Every structure is written in C-alpha cells, then in structure tokens.
Amino acid sequence: MRTAVFRKANFNSAHRLHNPQLDDKTNEALFGLCNNPNYHGHNYDLIVKLIGEINPQTGYVFDMKILNDIIKEEIIERFDHKNLNMDTVEFKNLNPTAENIARIIYELLRSKIEVKYELEITLYETPRNYVVYPVK
Ligand code: NI
C-alpha cells in the first residue's frame, strides 16, 4: 500500500554563484551568467514527494494541507523574494546552486516530517534544469 504523494510549490529568489577561493576569471568561466556580480533571479519550481502507507482511517498517505503549511513555513517564507546569498543564513557560506538549495530544502523539511515517510525533493531552477535529492 506504499504510495507516493506530491505537492508543488514555487518561489522566486535572487542569487549569485561564486567561489571566493577562485579568481574572478575562473568564477566567470565556471558559473557564467549565474556569476553576475549584481545577482539575478530564478523562478524556482519545487516538487516535494512523500512516500508512505495509506492510512486506513483517512485514506491519506499524508494530509496535504499540513504538507502545504510545512512547505510554506519552512521554505517559501524563508526563501521567496529573498537574495539567497545576502538574506539567508543557509547560503551565507554555501554556494546557492540548485543542488545545494535542494539539499537544504530536504534538510529543512526532513526535520518536520516523521521518518516513516520517505522524502524526495525535485527543484527546477529553469524549465530545463532541475535536480533531485536525495538519490537512492
Ligand atoms: Ni542563476
């Protein structure tokens, strides 16, 4: 009876990809437009996947209203309309790549969702670039 349920969400954030240990030229070569010194924005699409047993009493795997509230409180309020590098503690010293953002989102949600549920994060940075964390 294990079933996957999904909730989609969206947030807009600014970022700059930059490794302070590398020189400007190398950073530009590595990160291209995402290295723009004055930052730039992305429209991030988030898909949160939970896997669990169907509760016979409710017929639900997880109450989607509660999942939506957790995503709102932990992710949207923290990152939406923020400059990830400047406005968040999570990315003060961590390059805000889609990979790292997905991992941080996973950790933030993992701490609020019982371990009996499997959790997987899909994060679209652009319609054609997306990452999945964790990978089994
Ligand atoms: Ni970018």
Residue segments in the chain with a per-residue pLDDT below the cut of 50: none
Neighbouring CB atoms inside 10 A of 70's CB total 18
pLDDT of residue 34: 95
Q: Identify the residue whose tokens are 């990315």.
A: 91
Q: How many angstroms separate the CA atoms of 87 and 85, rounded?
A: 6
pLDDT of residue 1: 84
Catalytic sites, residue numbers? 34, 81, 125
92 alpha carbon – ligand 1 mean position (Å) = 16
- Nearby residues of 102 by Cβ (< 8 Å), 6 or more positions away: 121, 122, 123, 131, 132, 133
pLDDT of residue 7: 98
Domain ranges of the chain: 2-133
75 alpha carbon – ligand 1 mean position (Å) = 18
The tokens for 79 are: 């990152």
Q: Which superfamily, per CATH, for 2-133? A: 6-pyruvoyl tetrahydropterin synthase/QueD (3.30.479.10)
34 alpha carbon – ligand 1 mean position (Å) = 4
Whether the upstream peptide bond of residue 20 has omega within 30° of 0, thus cis, is no
